[in-house]
Amino acid sequence: MKIRIFWVVFTALLLLVTYAWVSTAHFGPLDIFYIRLANQFFAVLGVVFIFMQFVLSARIKTLEEGFGLDKMLHYHRYFGRIGLIFLALHGLLYIIYELLEFGGVMTHFYFWLGIIAFIGFLITASLAVLYKRIGITYEAWKNIHLFNYVLFPLALIHVFYNASTGTLLYYLWIAFAVAYALIILYRVYQIYRMRSNPYQVIEVKQEAEDIWTVSFKGREFSYKPGQFLMMQLLRDGVLSPSHPFTLSSSPTWDHISITPKESGDFTATIKETKVGDKAFIDAPYGVFSFLNYDAHELVFIAGGIGITPFMSMLRYISEKQLPLEVTLFWGNKDESSLCFQEELEMFQEKMHNFSSILIMSKQKNWPGEQGRINAQLIQKYLPDLEGKDFFVCGPPAMSNAVMAELQKIKVPASKIHRELFDF
Ligand SMILES: Cc1cc2nc3c(=O)[nH]c(=O)nc-3n(C[C@H](O)[C@H](O)[C@H](O)COP(=O)(O)OP(=O)(O)OC[C@H]3O[C@@H](n4cnc5c(N)ncnc54)[C@H](O)[C@@H]3O)c2cc1C
Q: Is 143 in the pocket of ligand 1 (CB under 6 A)?
A: no
153 and 28, same domain (yes or no): yes
- Across the chain, mean pLDDT equals 94
The answer, yes or no, to whether any atom of ligand 1 lies below 6 A from the CB of 246, is yes
Q: Whose CA is nearest to atom 30 of ligand 1?
A: 264
Number of domains in the chain: 3
Say if ligand 1 is within 6 A of residue 138 CB.
Answer: yes
Asked if residue 213 has its Cβ within 6 Å of ligand 1, the reply is no
Kindly report the CATH number assigned to the domain that includes residue 222: 2.40.30.10
* Residues 407 and 322 both lie in one domain: yes
Residue 228 Cβ contacting ligand 1 at under 6 Å: yes
Q: Contacts by 126-131 with C-beta closer than 8 Å and gap 24+? A: 128/77, 128/80
State whether the beta carbon of 390 lies less than 6 angstroms from ligand 1: no
Distance CA 14, CA 152 (A): 18
Atom of ligand 1 nearest to the CA of 267: 26
Residue 102 lies in domain: 3-194
Q: Which of 194, 225, 251 is the last residue of a domain?
A: 194
Percent of the chain with pLDDT over 90: 87
Shared domain for 218 and 298, answered yes or no, is no
How many other CB atoms are found less than 10 A from the CB of residue 242?
18
Q: Going by CA atoms, what residue is nearest to atom 5 of ligand 1? A: 245
Are 209 and 249 in the same domain? yes
In the prediction, which pLDDT does 317 show? 97
Same domain, 114 and 54: yes
Q: Is 242 close to ligand 1, i.e. is its CB under 6 Å away?
A: yes
pLDDT digits (tens, 9 = 90+) for 351-367: 989 999 999 999 999 99
Residues 219 and 182 in one domain: no
Do both 370 and 281 map to the same domain? no
Instruction: Based on the fold, state whether residues 229 and 333 are members of the same structural domain.
Output: no
Which of 255, 285, 315 is the last residue before a domain boundary? Answer: 285
Which residue, by CA, sits nearest to atom 24 of ligand 1? 264
Cα(52) to ligand 1 centroid in Å equals: 25
C-alpha 343/C-alpha 320 separation (Å) is 16
- Reading phi first (left if > 0) and then psi (alpha if -120 to 50, else beta), residue 71 is in alpha
Spans of the chain below 50 pLDDT: none
Residue 312 shares a structural domain with residue 360: yes
Judge if 294 and 179 occupy the same domain. no
276 and 402 housed in the same domain: no
pLDDT of residue 167: 92
CATH number at residue 185: 1.20.120.1770
The gap from C-alpha 33 to its chain's centroid, in whole angstroms, comes to 42
Domain end point (choices 194, 227, 253): 194
User: Are 312 and 375 members of one domain?
Assistant: yes
Q: Whose CA is nearest to atom 1 of ligand 1?
A: 421
CA 176 to CA 49: how far, in whole Å? Answer: 12
The pLDDT value recorded for residue 28 is 77
Output the pLDDT for position 296: 94
